[in-house]
Amino acid sequence: MEITLTDIEREAYKDSPVHRLDGRIKILSIIAIIVFAVSLPRMDEGNFMKLAILELYLISLMLIARLNPAYTIMRFLSILPFGLTIVIIQPFVRQPFIETFTVYPIYLPLGITLTYEGIFFGAVLLAKYIVCITSIVLMSSTMKMNDMVTSARRLGMPAEFTLILSMMVRYLFVFWIILKRIRVAQKTRLFHIWNKNVPHKWIIEQVAYTISSLFIRSYEQGERTYISMLCRGYSSVNKVYVHKNKIKATDILFFVITVGTLLLAFVA
C-alpha cells in the first residue's frame, strides 16, 4: 500500500474534536508528552507502565479523531526503522552508566555477548520511541501543514524560520508531483527498482539520476520563486502576518486532560 502526501493531508482535513483544537495547544501537548517520555530514567521498571498510559492516551485520541487505521499504521511503520537500529544494538553494547552486567547464556561468534541490562535498556528505548512516534503521527494527522507553521509562529517561532517552513510546505506538493512524473516516465520504460533481471549497479545509477534530476529541478524552481518574490517587493525586512486566534474552553480542557494524564503516568 502506497501513501502519498495527498493522503496524509487528507487526514488533516477531517472534522473531529481533536482536529478542531487550537494548533498551539496540540503542539504544546505533544511536546510535553515527548519531553516527559524522553526524560524518564534509563533503567527503571516503572517506565513501561508510565509509557503504556501515554500510549493508550494517544491511541484514544486517534480513535476520537477517526483516523484511517491503515494510513496510521503505515506511517508508524515507515518511521519505526529509523530508531529501531539503535534499539537492536543495545543488547550487545555495554553502556558506561551501567555498573554491573549479567551476561545472557547465549554464545555468539567473534566473542559477542548479550547482557540482561542491555536488553532491558533496549526495551526502554523502544517503548520511549514508540510513544514519540505515535505523538508525531497524531499531530501531523490532525493538523494541516499550514496550520502547523501558523501555530508555531503564534508560539513565538522567529519569522525567518516561519517563512522558510511556509515556502517548504507550499512547494512540497509541487516537488512530489515532479517526482511522480519521473516515476511514471520510468515505469513506461519498464524500469522497476526491484527488477532482478538487470544489474544492481545499473539500478543504483538510475536512482542516482532520479535524485540528481529532482535536486536540479528543485534548485531551478527555488531560483524562479525567489526572483518572483523580489519582483513583488520581498526583502529581508518583510514580516509574516499571522492572524490572531483565541484559545477556547475546549482547548484549555484538552490541555488540562493532557497534563492530568502526564501526572497520572508520573505517579504510576
User: Is 44 within a domain?
Assistant: yes
Distance CA 132, CA 101 (A): 28
Provide the percentage of residues in the chain whose pLDDT is more than 90.
25
Q: Are both 200 and 116 inside the same structural domain?
A: no
Provide the percentage of residues in the chain whose pLDDT is more than 70.
92
Q: Are both 106 and 180 inside the same structural domain?
A: no
The three grid cell numbers given for residue 48, joined into one nine-digit string:
513501561
Q: Are both 21 and 131 inside the same structural domain?
A: yes
- Whose cell is 486532560? That residue is 257
Q: Are both 131 and 261 inside the same structural domain?
A: yes
Above 70 in pLDDT, residue 241? no
- Closest to 176 in 3D by CA, of 6, 1, 51: 6
Q: Are both 222 and 126 inside the same structural domain?
A: no
DSSP state, 92? G
- Closest to 138 in 3D by CA, of 227, 218, 27, 221: 27
Q: What is the mean pLDDT of residues 99-106?
A: 75
Tens-digit pLDDT profile for residues 120-141: 888 999 999 999 999 999 998 8
Tens-digit pLDDT profile for residues 160-170: 777 777 777 77
Q: Are both 9 and 126 inside the same structural domain?
A: yes
User: Is 212 within a domain?
Assistant: yes
- Whose cell is 487505521? That residue is 69
| Domains: count for the chain | 2
Tens-digit pLDDT profile for residues 189-235: 877 777 778 888 888 888 888 888 888 888 888 888 888 878 887 77
Please give the pLDDT value at position 242: 67
Above 90 in pLDDT, residue 238? no
Residue 99 or residue 4, greater confidence: 99
Q: Are both 94 and 51 inside the same structural domain?
A: yes
Tally of CB atoms within 10 A around 58: 21
The count of residues in the chain is: 268
- Residue 225: give the domain boundaries: 159-231
Q: Are both 111 and 176 inside the same structural domain?
A: no
User: Is 239 within a domain?
Assistant: no
Q: What ranges in 90-195 are assigned the alpha helix state H? A: 116-142, 145-154, 159-188
Distance CA 163, CA 97 (A): 42
Above 60 in pLDDT, residue 175? yes
Residue 235 or residue 154, greater confidence: 154
Distance CA 125, CA 79 (A): 15
Q: Are both 79 and 40 inside the same structural domain?
A: yes
Q: Are both 12 and 95 inside the same structural domain?
A: yes
Please give the pLDDT value at position 100: 77
Tens-digit pLDDT profile for residues 18-66: 999 988 899 999 999 999 999 998 888 888 999 999 999 999 999 999 9
Distance CA 111, CA 88 (A): 18
Q: Are both 139 and 182 inside the same structural domain?
A: no
Above 90 in pLDDT, residue 264? yes
User: Is 153 within a domain?
Assistant: no
Q: Which amino acid is at 55?
A: E
Q: What is the mean pLDDT of residues 68-93?
A: 85
- Closest to 221 in 3D by CA, of 267, 181, 172: 172
Distance CA 218, CA 150 (A): 24
Q: How far is CA 114 from the centre of its chain?
A: 31
pTM: 0.78
Please give the pLDDT value at position 79: 85
Q: Are both 17 and 83 inside the same structural domain?
A: yes
User: Is 242 within a domain?
Assistant: no
Above 80 in pLDDT, residue 245? no
Taking the CA atoms of residue 168, residue 172, residue 175 and residue 176 in that order, the dihedral angle to the nearest 10 degrees is: 160
Q: What is the mean pLDDT of residues 87-110?
A: 78
User: Is 237 within a domain?
Assistant: no
Please give the pLDDT value at position 8: 67
User: Is 71 within a domain?
Assistant: yes
User: Is 121 within a domain?
Assistant: yes
Beta bridge partners of 103: 115
